[in-house]
Structures are given as C-alpha cells and as structure tokens.
C-alpha cells in the first residue's frame, strides 16, 4: 500500500450504512494520497509512469467496497514496472480491486463469468482480433475459483476452480494462472498490443504499430523486458519529437498535479478542490469509465472540457488556505512550459495574477512525454 495508508477493511463493518461510510472515507483518502504523490513525490517521476499503467489496467475505485485496493494496485505496479511484462501482468491479475471490478469472484466452475477472461485477452495481452470466442470461454475457465480471504489475500478455491483441460490459442493444457499468464505473454501480438497501448498514453496520440516495429522487435526479443521497452521508445523519433516540441496534451489529472506542484501548498484543500475539478474536466479521479481506461490526446478536447480546465485551475488559486501556505518558485520561468505562452511574458514574478495567466495559457496544457530514462 502507499506508505501512509491506514487500511480499514470496509467489508468487516457490521451494517450497510457503516460499510458505505467506510467506503466513502477510504475513497477520499486514496484519492488525496495519490494526487499528493503525483504532485510532490516521493519518486514523482516513477509515479507518472505508474499512472500510465493504471490506465492500461483500469479499475474504477468507486465500484469497490475497499477503494484502498487501488493503493495496493499502485504499489504492485511500482514494484514490477521495471521487471518484465509477464510479472507485471501477474501482479495485476492478483489484485483484488481489478478482480472485483471485472466480476472475477463470480467466475466459478459451474457458473462462469467471462469478463476477466475477455479483458485479459483483448486489453492486457493479444489484443482485439487475435482471439476467438472459444479462447474467451477457455481462458475464463482457467480463471475460475478466485476468492478473497479475510486478510485481502487472493486464493484459488479447489471447490470452484475448473481443473479440466482447456484449448487456448492453439495450446491444450490445464492452464493454471502462472502458465496462462506466461502463454498469453509469449504470444507475438501481445508485444504489439502492449507497446501500442502504452505509447498511446505516453505520447497522447493514437500511434500506428507500423511506426514502432523496431520497438516491438526489441521488446519481443528481450522477453517483454519493460526496461527494454522504455529504452527503445525513448530513443524513437516519435518520442524525441514529442519531447522536443512538447506535443502531448496533458490529461486533466496530470494537469492538476502539475498545477498543485507549482503552487507548492501542502494544504488538504489542494486535494479536495483538485478532486472536484477533475470531474468537471471530464476525468473523475480514479474512476475510469470502463476497463479500456481513459482517453488520451485529442480525446480531451471539447469546448466544455477546455473551459473547465481554466475555471478549475483558478479555483486552486482562489482558495485562501492554499494561497497562504504556498511555496512557489522565486520566478516563473520558460522551462515550466514547452513553448512560448500567449498570456504572459516569462520570466515573471509568481504573483497570483501571473500564475493565473499561466494556468489559462494554452502552453500550460502541454508537455513532453513521461521521462523514461532511468
């Protein structure tokens, strides 16, 4: 879990009302802590990378009785995002939040639920068009029997698990979880699908896999080593161009975290207001609309979204508690933005008016990609 997270298992509360109150408080705390880390760290650079994987393994925290399971998901991504994709994928399949969100606890030998099996194939491994309905059925059979004990540990129940032989993508086996994850990770189209999805979020645009052939080739040859993926992408011309020109339109969460960090206040109002304005900007915090995750790039552009970006950020500045506890830099400098602003001449003093002018400037909405050089 996040280091300062106090775990309260809302499932253990005696009444429905107490469970709901516990869920609400846990959801608020989880959101505030994650926004604080994105703004201030520790390991802020690493947290931005986690945020990409959170979109790939999307879970809506509001749907969970224990929203702090998202904190557990963040920690496991943090742990495995420099390993190989097989390990990262396994860590996510063993996350209670993702399993609950995809109804995996309802998937039993004699009462199948195919949600997790379908998303595992389409979103997390081989990709759309590379599997059949029979593959979904048999993958779901291999994923039967997940249960959650009273200590939030994932186990496989022999009573509910299907131990029979399954045929998945041309291979016949009993397919326990580890062997299933390995088999799906080893499929050639998995490297392509994950590279594409990762780059979509990283660069803020719909990339074509044909533009990333060298990246995919190296990723496959290194057994889906994620450090290889990051290094190959960071040396690619698309990444370098995005970095040099600041072409990535920031998603609302990255924009709010960046703005909170510039003001420099540690007051709780940052996180309360930040959470509220994210919903207005079209990105309810930690509540993606479906398992496919958030949009990216041009998907964040609409007249109402852009208007609410400006209104939302000025609300952070308007709060007296935030302003009175600010820790702004001595000067607003050109390195804060990727290209010259329209509304303000830099460098400038960090007055309220100047920061407001910066916040409503088009340049404040853009940046280069997440730094992949470690």
User: For the segment 227-245, what is each residue's pLDDT rounded down to a tens digit?
Assistant: 999 999 999 999 999 999 9
286 Ramachandran zone, left/alpha/beta (phi>0; psi -120 to 50): left
Radius of gyration for the alpha carbons in the chain, expressed in angstroms and rounded: 22
Across the chain, how many H-helices and E-strands are there?
17, 6
Q: Which tokens go with 150? A: 């009273």
pLDDT at 4 over 60: no
Q: For residue range 165-202, what is the model confidence (pLDDT) as tens digits?
A: 999 999 999 999 999 999 999 999 999 999 999 999 99
pTM exceeds cut of 0.85: yes
Q: What confidence tier does 7 reach under pLDDT thresholds 50, 70, 90?
A: low
Q: Find, among 370, 361, 367, the residue nearest to 247 by Cα.
A: 367
pLDDT at 2 over 50: no
pLDDT at 313 over 80: yes
Helix (H, G, I), strand (E, B), or coil: what is residue 348?
Answer: strand
CA geometry: angle 136, 80, 370, nearest 5 deg: 100
Q: Mean of the pLDDT values across residues 329-334?
A: 97
pLDDT at 5 over 90: no
Cα–Cα distances in angstroms (integers) from residue 310 to residues 293, 302, 365, in the given order: 24, 13, 10
Cα 246 from Cα 240, distance rounded (Å): 10
Cα four-point dihedral sign 105, 106, 111, 117: negative
Q: What confidence tier does 6 reach under pLDDT thresholds 50, 70, 90?
A: low
Q: Mean of the pLDDT values across residues 84-100?
A: 97
Cα 185 from Cα 229, distance rounded (Å): 14
Cα 122 from Cα 131, distance rounded (Å): 8
If one counts every other C-beta atom within 10 angstroms of the C-beta of residue 45, the result is 12
Q: Which tokens go with 2? A: 């996040």
If one counts every other C-beta atom within 10 angstroms of the C-beta of residue 8, the result is 15
* Strand pairing report for 146-148 and 154-156: antiparallel
Q: Where do the structural domains in the chain lie, given as residue ranges?
A: 10-185, 248-367
Q: Which tokens go with 48? A: 């931005």
Cα four-point dihedral sign 219, 222, 224, 225: negative
Kind plus residue range of the DSSP H or E element containing 168: strand 166-168
Q: Mean of the pLDDT values across residues 296-305?
A: 94
Cα 362 from Cα 359, distance rounded (Å): 8
If one counts every other C-beta atom within 10 angstroms of the C-beta of residue 155, the result is 11
pLDDT at 11 over 90: no
pLDDT at 301 over 50: yes
Helix (H, G, I), strand (E, B), or coil: what is residue 366?
Answer: strand
Return the pLDDT at 3.
42
**Contact, 75 vs 2, CB < 8 A?**
yes
| Distance from the first to the final alpha carbon of the chain | 23
Higher pLDDT, 373 or 89: 89
Which residue bears the tokens 């990333």?
212
Q: For residue range 244-265, what is the model confidence (pLDDT) as tens digits?
A: 999 999 999 999 999 999 999 9
Q: Mean of the pLDDT values across residues 334-353?
A: 97
Return the pLDDT at 152.
80
Q: What confidence tier does 95 reach under pLDDT thresholds 50, 70, 90?
A: very high
When the pLDDT of each residue in the chain is averaged and rounded to a whole number, the result is 95
């Amino acid at each position: 879990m996040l280091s300062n997270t106090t775990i309260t298992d809302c499932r253990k509360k005696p009444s429905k009302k107490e469970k709901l109150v516990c869920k609400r408080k846990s959801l608020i705390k989880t959101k505030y802590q994650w926004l604080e880390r994105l703004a201030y760290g520790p390991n802020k650079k690493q947290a931005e990378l986690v945020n990409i994987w959170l979109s790939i393994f999307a879970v809506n925290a509001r749907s969970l009785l224990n929203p702090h399971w998202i904190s557990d998901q963040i920690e496991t991504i943090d742990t495995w995002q420099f390993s190989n994709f097989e390990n990262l994928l396994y860590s996510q399949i063993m996350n209670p939040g993702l399993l609950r969100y995809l109804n995996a606890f309802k998937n039993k030998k004699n009462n199948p639920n195919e949600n997790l099996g379908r998303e595992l194939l389409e979103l997390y491994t081989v990709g759309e068009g590379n599997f059949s309905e029979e593959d979904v059925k048999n993958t779901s059979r291999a994923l039967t029997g997940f249960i959650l004990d009273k200590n939030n540990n994932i186990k496989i129940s022999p009573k509910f698990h299907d131990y029979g032989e399954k045929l998945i993508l041309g291979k016949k086996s009993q397919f326990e979880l580890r062997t299933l994850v390995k088999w799906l990770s080893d499929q050639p189209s998995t490297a392509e699908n994950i590279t594409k999805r990762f780059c979509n979020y990283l660069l803020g645009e719909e990339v074509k896999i044909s533009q990333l052939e060298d990246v995919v080739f190296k990723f496959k040859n290194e057994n889906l080593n994620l450090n290889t993926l990051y290094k190959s992408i960071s040396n690619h011309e698309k990444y370098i161009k995005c970095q040099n020109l600041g072409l990535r339109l920031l998603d609302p969460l990255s924009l709010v975290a960046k703005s909170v960090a510039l003001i420099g206040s540690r007051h709780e109002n940052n996180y309360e207001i930040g959470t509220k304005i994210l919903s207005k900007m079209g990105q309810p915090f930690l509540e993606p609309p479906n398992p496919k995750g958030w949009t990216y790039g041009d998907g964040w552009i609409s007249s109402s979204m852009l208007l609410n970006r400006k209104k939302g950020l000025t609300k952070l500045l308007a709060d007296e508690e935030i302003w009175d506890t600010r820790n702004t830099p001595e000067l607003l400098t050109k390195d804060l933005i990727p290209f010259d602003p329209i509304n303000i001449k830099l460098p400038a003093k960090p007055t309220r008016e100047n920061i407001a002018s910066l916040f409503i400037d088009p340049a404040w909405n853009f940046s280069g990609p997440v730094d992949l050089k470690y």
